[in-house]
Structure 1
Amino acid sequence: MLFSSNDRSVTADEAFTNRQMQWRAVTSGLTEHLQRVGSVNFDVEDVESPRRNILVFHGVGGIGKTTLSRKIEASLTNSAHRPPQWAQAYLPRQQLLPVRVDLARSAGSDFESVILSIRLAIAALGRPMPAFDLALRRYWDRNHPGEPLEEYVRRGGLLHRFGAAAALPQQIQSALSDTAQALMLPGTVGGLLGHGAQALITALRERRQAVRSLAGCSRLADLLEAEPDLDALSFYPHLLAWDLSRLPADKTILPVILLDTFEDTGDRGHRDFERLLQRVVWLMPNAFFVVTGRNRLQWAQPSLEGQLDWVGPQAWPGLATEHTHRASQVHEHQILIGDFSPEDCEDYLSRRLMQREEPLIDESVRRTIAEHSHGLPLYLDLAVMRYLELRRKGRRPQSADFDHDFPALISRTLSDLSAEERHVLRGISLLNAFSVPLATEVAGLDHDAPALRLAERPFIRESASGVWPFHLHTLIRSAIRTSEETSDDRWSEQDWHRAAQRAFSALEAHWRRDPQRDRTVLVACLEQGLTLARDFGLALGWLTDAAFQYTADSIWEPLTLPPAPNPPPQGGLTPADALVETLSAVTRRQHEHRERTAARLETVLAEGLLTTELADMATYYLAKAQRDLGRIAESRRGMQQVADRGGRLALAATRGLAHLHRLSGDFPTAVEVARRLGWPGRHQRVLGDVWWVHADIDRAVAAYRADRTEAEQHAAVGERAMAQVHLSFAAAFAGPDRASDELDLAQRLLEPLRLRSNELTARVANLVRAAGNSDVPGQASVLLAEIERSGISYIQAKLQLALCFHYSVLDYREELEGAIDRLRTLTNRDDYAYYVDIAHFMGGLPLPARSTRPRWIDGEEQTRRRWRNLVITRRSYSAPDGRPR
């Protein structure tokens, strides 16, 4: 900020947000650690017991791990530096000594500097660590001949980081002098480090009185005898731990060693540096380690045996991870750092840039940045930099300036990935969810190893729900897909298109080999396949078959597709766009007015982008919407067109024509057509629709039940639910007792589905079941409002018919005549006109002269008699006080 603006009234603050949960994990971890170390059974020289002295925070690049590490160090050093959010957190009373080591390559850290950093921090105690200092001085003189330790510390900048660093050489000298004097070696220190070293080792092994203060360290002699190379140096922390355990009670400290940027210790094929660091953690059980890095530690995996010294869940119980195909359960010592919440993003941006103690960034701009960040702090910082850049150019940044992804996000994400992992990462950015085999297929590789390694990265999230277990962090996925990448191995447009085609083919294979034809697999493959076809202009191919299976099940869960890239790679509308709109219109008709459904499908057909088969689908569902709207002539033309083509929906369209014959009152023709349909045309349901209007309830229920059975045999859950709804509606006329169980079953079958018209029909059936109760008209008025919003006219007619039944049961002649008038208005275009006749039959009324006289199967008188008998029978259901119920 200092060099980004000439306006000195603008100030930049290192805003720190949230992370209370991580701070609580640190404080609770420290408390538990102190309880273990303070136990009478604790032995600092025990190298077999499991280790619980480590806490790991891992997360994507830019999530705030380094900031968290620094804040923990500052908070443990001085409570005045603790963020306000952490003020009330409990800390143990033990004296804490935080030591933070940045392992980033840019920091130039090596293993020697790690060991020296820990020892230099402990130098603040003003006491030598005799066992460790003897070994360290021997190592130093052998590996850095002629270079004094104090000069190395000064040149390496460690003197500025650790206030007591200058005292370390004197402390080491003191330890050497005391030991040499005790052994009466000539040349004091020189003798101890030269030929006298063997004398010290012998004295330690014999546990002589002269070196009794060191003889208690059982492994000191062995370490002094070993060649003092880097490998030996990695075991010296054991000596330092022993020295710390010998401190007087009033000088006791707890070292808290923070190892940051742990991912830079090497890749997972080269663990040499990681092996040395693991020894430090294992051999200092009385110290507490806080590791921050991009990846979780794998030390609890038995498969690493031979690469690291101590591996497996028995060695590191707090780091153990139990993987299943559904989820990953991580124990309390290995914690994924999550994204900021929207409130945290707002708080961060409010305090990041200030002018006269007010937020510099406008509220609307802050909101836009927060939405685009998906909670990633790195994005927030990059957006702040962009804000300053735009401001420097002389204009006030607006919300539209931050509809933007940053290439830096990609470089940070890809920085520690192998070439194959980067290749897989770009491939999975095409998918909203994936599995390891799917990722491998999309990348065009013949081995899973890169995808397996990638799945363990913190920017890959694992979920127990869904067909595929993994998904890429939303912001990183967007950045990879839309930002201008500049890396040497970036993909060309042709590379992206080839990967999209591989992904498209892999999804087809996954769907077709699903033996259960699971609905969730179908929807997942369809959503991802449609997105790929839309974004890359792919031929529809297998999506046609998938779309027909999707509609055939009559389960109308919505398809959720992400917004198309802007601008789309191919430009303009594609056949995939047309198919997406078709399926969306078909699905949304359960929640939209049928006029809206019809308009959407008419527009799709006018664009001419669909194949003949898919155009039949759009035409068929348009005809159904037209029928629901009472546009019978148009519906008949559409159904006839689809039936004549003889395609996949020919039988369904023929069934639609049978329904239209029924609507017009031509029942014999409807029955004749139904008997030619068979199960594929749902013949039993068509017959049931004919029999109930004849008041032949037993015959209608039998037909619906047969349809339900066939649906169960064919695993058609949508058809099963529809059959049960129609069955309960017919049974409701026969009596409340008979209908109750059927309606309960209908509700259970409908619950997981999205069948709006059938849900409304079931509610009308409830009113028929309750006919004779005083509250039926009130319930009907509420239901009528919902039906009118749906635009399904035939259910309005059914509702009025239910009211006619209710008033006939109560023998309310005036109310019945009013309901008949409303019913006549709803059916004045000949469709469902016979409902008016049925209402007269119910009330025992003569037909008006202008009756349409439908073609009843067994004549008008028989039908009249059956309807009148249903009304009379219902009157026998009386409440205890004698009033009809």
Structure 2
Amino acid sequence: MDVTGRDLRALFSTNDHSVRADEAFTNRSLQWEVVAAALTAHLEHISAPGFDAGDLEAARDHVLVFHGVGGIGKTTLSRMLEAALTDAGRRPSQWGEPGWPADRILPVRIDLARSAGTDFEQIVLTIRAALTRIRRPLPAFDLALRRYWEANHPGEPLEEYLRRSTLGSRFGQALPQQMQSALADVAQALMLPGTIGSAVGQITGALVGALRERRQTVRALAGCARLADLLEAEPDLDALSFYPHLLAWELARLPQGRRVVPVVLLDTVEDIGDRTRRDLERLIQRTVWLLPNAFWVITGRSRLQWADPALQGQLDYTGPAAWPGLAHTAAPAARAQTSGARQILVGDFSPEDCDDYLARRLTRHGQPLISEAVRQVITARSHGLPLYLDLSVARFLELSRSSRAPRPGDFDHDFPALIARTLSDLTPDERHVLRSVSLLDAFDVPLATRAAGLAHEGPALRLTERPFVREDPFGLWPFHLHGLIRSALRTTDDTTDDRWSERDWQQAAQRAFTTLGEQHPTTAGPDRRLLIACLRQGLRLARDHRLDLGWLTPAAWTYVSDSIWEPLAPPDTDSTALDTAADALVELLSALARRQHQHRSHTVTRLTTVIDSRLLPHDLQHMALYYRAKAHRDLGDSPASRQGMQAVADGQSRLAAAARRGLAHLARIAGDFPTALATARTLGWEGRHHRIQGDIWWPHGAMDRAAAAYAAARDEAEHHAVTGERANSQAHRAFALAFTDPTAAENELALAEQLLAGLDLRATTLITHIAALARDAGRTDGGVDDRAQVLRAEISAAGVTYTELALDLVLAFHHAVRDDQDQVAEAIAGLRENTRGGDYAYYSDIAAFMARLPLEEASSALWIDGAEPTRQRWRSLVTARRDHLCTPR
């Protein structure tokens, strides 16, 4: 960072003379690199033998555009570029040395802001006045300019105008002297008598005649083929815009030792007009085109549209063939050099740059006046926008005038000035659309138009071209607002004349919500990404604006039907303050999604809060009851789970079949396999009948039968496009086959992992890890015990009790294969202790079956075909694994 000068406004905000208020410039080295590279390429281009400054048809690549939101630092960048090109000593050290001689560059900065009062005449005069530094007349241009001035400013000498304007102080009075010298030289060449000052018309007429007759006396100007036409044309403002062609010719014929390249920096270009009034823009664009040996750096809020073919007729030179570098809005500066783009989006400050800026902005005895804690808060709220930093500095000084030092909490603050700056150059319709889309995380043109309640898309389309609208071409809705601008529009007291009332905001929220509802898919499947996007935005709108649930109810059912559990916005706040149905639905879906990352006891607590609020409609209330019952089951609380499942099954809601499946699970968990199997056969697809049967057959050691049932469940889920169920069934198939065929299990696990990719199914993922241990059971090189220890910690964090019992069972299988009777006995004791409540008590029976041990405390399990066949099947799995491990591979 380098300091560019004193901040007088801040300096006059305090009586403390020890406070130093400086205008701090945060290093924009990437932007400088783009300028340096482009200027270097321009110098090489105009120095090439084939370059012709008078070529009116060649494409132009001598313009560089920096655009960005108001307050991003474009004007500061423009000033620093001027300073760096003028004086190497003022160039920030981080910017490095340029690759051109300093005396060859002539920077000319022109502020086009309305407050500066710059008109087209002044633009032309400024460029010509800057060229007085080469200390020689430019007769072709000077004669045309003098003729224009006398025709349009009769009685006002140019010398007097320059003396009264800022141009005189910037460039002195060299311009009138050089123009007089040019006129004298032309008069002498034409052998005209009289006073030169009063003979401009006579000189012009004589020169035109001499040029037409190709007299030898004016051979110096005869090379300018269009000079006579320009001198004969009516000397109006339109003709003035063509005179830069004469400047280009004059610059091209300068002697090698005096040849310079003007670098014209046009700032605040957004103030030269709007999208329908382009009169001044047309004159400026013509000037830029006709002066190709100059280099132009243009800064403004919006990108230049000169490469848009649709502007043909409004501007003289349009289309991508004319302006190849302007044909696409470049990306950030980091990619501009490689892409060849000439439109650069000025990005936000990094957090480090924000802190550095604030630390240097106000100092006392060389130390930062703004404390680190305050700087952190300002930086976090600024989203990297320099204007916010400046406004915060002003607030800091305002608060400092009170009796206490500013604290971090004082800067949890929004500024109305941000809104005023953002809205200042928008049309009323564009402002209306902007406020509407501030309600949305992302949008496209149709969504923005509908949210604004407009019948035509033009305002929304124009708004997307503004720099505070960011674009993600890969997003479902590609546009989103700059974070700080969006926050300010939604939360700051609006003092503008067309500010919205609370009713206006409410109506806009309802329009946006309704439009999202029209887009959301009604079935799970390939449109799930759109479903999640609609839910995220719709939930936030409904919660923040207390809207009726409407389409969110069917969308919630579509969300849970696929069992994928993507995180949903708004962020998970674990809030217990539920006031509306929307609050309750947000908490319900958030709890369901977050249960993949939280202990199941936390899920129970959150769902109980939703259920007790009684804010949800009947069917969604049953959704909460069902998933709480599932969480109770995972925690090993079968009575609570059974009570919840029975309530949902009796209620005939959408989850009634799933609840009956849950009751079948509970019967299986209790060891009542006949009841579980009979129930499973009545469930159909909605009750996941095939998967339930697989869950019944594998405890019997009938792994092939279980694997076939799981495969049928997987295929049925694929037919119904239920991604989560497909992955879950495949994981359980891999688990069953892991006991019988390690090679086949390897392939099944790979498929399970492939189907789980991108899904958030924690319990299912744990099953695949347990299956991998079963696949490696009995091996001495598999690290089974160490891997089991790590997996046990993951299971404990998840609070999914039944998976830990399955892990213990797999370890018992591992020890039985290795014929480690002590370890098997220890595993049986552990299983018996952990299943004393009755659930999964038959796991200790299975462990004894594996090792051919007697049942000291047989469970009350009701086996489908009796205990003895089950014992034989499990023992056969152990002996088969031993044979497999002994077989050379």
TM-score range, shorter chain: over 0.9
Take 2:128 and 2:413, find their aligned partners in 1: how far apart are those partners?
Answer: 47
1:132 paired with 2:141, answer: yes
Quickly say closer, same or farther: Cα 1:92–1:450, change in 2 above 3 A. farther
Q: Would the aligned equivalents of 1:192 and 1:200 in 2 still touch at CA under 8 Å?
A: no
Report matched runs for 1:599-748 at 5 Å: 599-748=605-754
CA distance in 2, matches of 1:88, 1:367: 34
Q: Following superposition of structure 1 onto structure 2, how do residues 228-239 of structure 1 map, counting pairs within 5 Å?
A: 228-239=235-246
Change in 2 beyond 3 A, CA 1:92/1:819: farther
Question: Are 1:865 and 2:879 an aligned pair?
Answer: no
Q: Paired residue for 1:548?
A: 557
How far residue 517 of structure 1 moved from its aligned partner, in angstroms, is 5.1
For 2:527, the equivalent position in structure 1 comes to 518
CA distance in 2: counterparts of 1:185 and 1:191, whole angstroms:
12
How many angstroms does 1:467 deviate by?
Answer: 1.4
Q: Deviations over 1:29-65 (max 9, x none)?
A: 1110010000000011101000011100000000000
CA displacement at 1:515 relative to structure 2: 9.9
TM-score, normalization by structure 2: 0.96
Which position in structure 2 is the counterpart of 1:176?
Answer: 183
Distance in structure 2 (CA, Å) of the matches to 1:688 and 1:516 = 25
The whole-number CA distance in structure 2 between the counterparts of 1:408 and 1:526 is: 33
Deviation at 1:87, TM superposition (A): 4.0
Say whether the 8 Å CA contact 2:521–2:530 is kept in structure 1. Answer: no
User: TM-score, length-normalised on structure 1?
Assistant: 0.96
SS at match of 1:15: strand
Residues 378, 392 of structure 2: 8 Å contact kept:
yes
Question: Residues 317 and 128 of structure 1: is their aligned pair in 2 closer, same or farther, counting only changes over 3 Å?
Answer: same
SS in structure 2 of the partner of residue 680 of structure 1: coil
The count of aligned residue pairs is: 872
Q: Report matched runs for 1:384-533 at 5 Å.
A: 384-512=393-521, 518-533=527-542
CA contact (8 A) 2:693 2:709 kept: yes
Q: Report the Cα offset of residue 161 of structure 1.
A: 2.1
Quick one: structure 1 residues 132 and 9, their matched pair in 2 at CA, closer, same or farther if it must change by over 3 Å? same
Equivalent residues in 2 for 1:248-287, closer than 5 Å: 248-287=255-294
Partner of 1:770: 776
CA distance in 1, matches of 2:52, 2:178: 26
1:836 aligns with 844
| Residues 90 and 576 of structure 1, relative CA distance in 2, 3 Å threshold | farther
- Structure 1: distance between partners of 2:159 and 2:883: 107
1:692 and 1:582 mapped to 2: Cα distance?
Answer: 34
Per the alignment, residue 196 of structure 2 pairs with 189
Residues 749-799 of structure 1, C-alpha deviations (whole Å, 9 max, x = no match): 112111100111111111111110233222211111111111111011001
The one-letter amino acid of 2:316's match is D
Report the Cα distance in structure 1 between the residues aligned to 2:427 and 2:192, rounded to whole angstroms.
Answer: 55
Partner-residue secondary structure (3-state), 1:101: strand
Structure 2: gaps spanning 5 or more residues:
1-9
The structural deviation recorded for 1:195 is: 4.6
Match of 2:761 among 750, 755, 758: 755
Q: 1:514 to 1:259 in 2, by over 3 A?
A: farther
Q: Distance in 1 between matches of 2:203 and 2:811?
A: 111
Q: 2:62 aligns to what? A: 53
**Cα distance, 1:322 vs structure 2:** 7.5
In 2, the alpha carbon distance for the partners of 1:675 and 1:92 equals: 88
- Match of 1:734, SS? coil
Q: Deviations over 1:396-427 (max 9, x none)?
A: 00000000110000000000000000000000
Cα distance, 1:323 vs structure 2: 11
Q: In structure 2, give the amino acid aligned to 1:507.
A: L
Extract unaligned runs of 5+ from structure 1: none
Paired with 1:311 and 1:359, the residues of 2 have a C-alpha distance of 50
Per the alignment, residue 798 of structure 1 pairs with: 806
Contact kept in structure 2, 1:665 and 1:834, CA below 8 Å: yes
- CA deviation map 1:812-855 (0-9, x unaligned): 1111000011111221111111111111111112222x423311
- Selected match of 2:253 from 246, 268, 289: 246
In the superposition, relative to structure 1, how do residues 264 and 197 fare at CA in structure 2: closer, same or farther (>3 Å)?
same
1:853 pairs with one of 851, 854, 860: 860
Q: Distance in 2 between matches of 1:95 and 1:127?
A: 15
Q: Is this contact kept in 1: 2:522–2:554, CA < 8 A?
A: no
Root mean square deviation, CA, Å:
1.9
Against the structure 1 CA distance between its residues 557 and 516, is the aligned structure 2 distance closer, same or farther, given a 3 Å change threshold?
closer
| Residues 369, 402 of structure 1: 8 Å contact kept | yes
1:10-49 aligned at under 5 Å gives the runs 10-49=19-58
Q: Give yes or no for the alignment of 1:598 onto 2:604.
A: yes
Shift of the 93–197 alpha-carbon distance from structure 1 to 2, 3 Å rule, reads: closer
* 8 Å contact kept, 2:524–2:561: no
- The SS at the match of 2:20 is strand
Q: Secondary structure at the match of 2:816?
A: helix
Does the Cα contact within 8 Å between 1:241 and 1:286 map onto a contact in 2?
yes
In 2, distance between residues paired with 1:879 and 1:97?
A: 86
Q: Tell me the secondary structure at the aligned position of residue 590 of structure 1.
A: coil
Matching of residues 59-458 of structure 1 within 5 Å = 59-92=68-101, 95-162=104-171, 165-189=172-196, 192-321=199-328, 331-458=340-467
Q: Is contact 2:731-2:752 (8 Å) kept?
A: yes
Moved more, 92-101 or 46-55: 92-101
Which residue number in structure 2 is paired with residue 578 of structure 1? 584
Letter in 1 for 2:830: R
1:809 aligns with 2:817: yes
2:665–2:692 CA contact under 8 A, matched in 1: yes
Matched residues in 2 for 1:673 and 1:192: separation? Answer: 112
Structure 1 residue 282, shift from structure 2 partner: 0.5
Distance in 2 (CA, whole Å) between partners of 1:10 and 1:563 is: 44
2 CA distance for matches of 1:650 and 1:777?
A: 41
In the TM superposition, what whole-angstrom CA distance separates every residue of 1:535-591 from its partner, at most 9, and x where no partner exists? Answer: 000011111111111111111221131599x9x9xx973221211111111111111
More displaced 10-residue stretch of structure 1: 187-196 or 399-408: 187-196
Deviates more, 1:197-206 or 1:809-818: 197-206
- With over 3 angstroms needed to count, the CA separation of the structure-2 counterparts of 1:323 and 1:343, relative to structure 1, is closer
The 3-state SS of whatever aligns with 1:765 is helix
State the Cα distance separating 1:84 from its structure 2 match.
2.9
Identity between Structure 1 and Structure 2 (%): 60
Question: Are the aligned partners of 1:177 and 1:188 in contact in 2 as well (CA < 8 Å)?
Answer: no
Aligned AA (2:820): Y
Structure 2: how far apart are the matches of 1:552 and 1:702?
24
> How far off is 1:154 after superposition?
1.9
Alpha-carbon distance in structure 2 between the residues aligned to 1:711 and 1:513: 18
Which residue identity lines up with residue 321 of structure 1 in the other structure?
H
Residue 674 of structure 1, CA deviation:
1.2
Indicate conservation of the 8 Å contact 1:665/1:855, yes or no.
yes
- The more displaced of 492-501 and 461-470 is 461-470
CA contact (8 A) 1:180 1:191 kept: no
The alignment partner of 2:413 has SS state of coil
Distance 2:97 2:52 in 1: 33
User: How far apart are the structure 1 equivalents of 2:116 and 2:474?
Assistant: 41
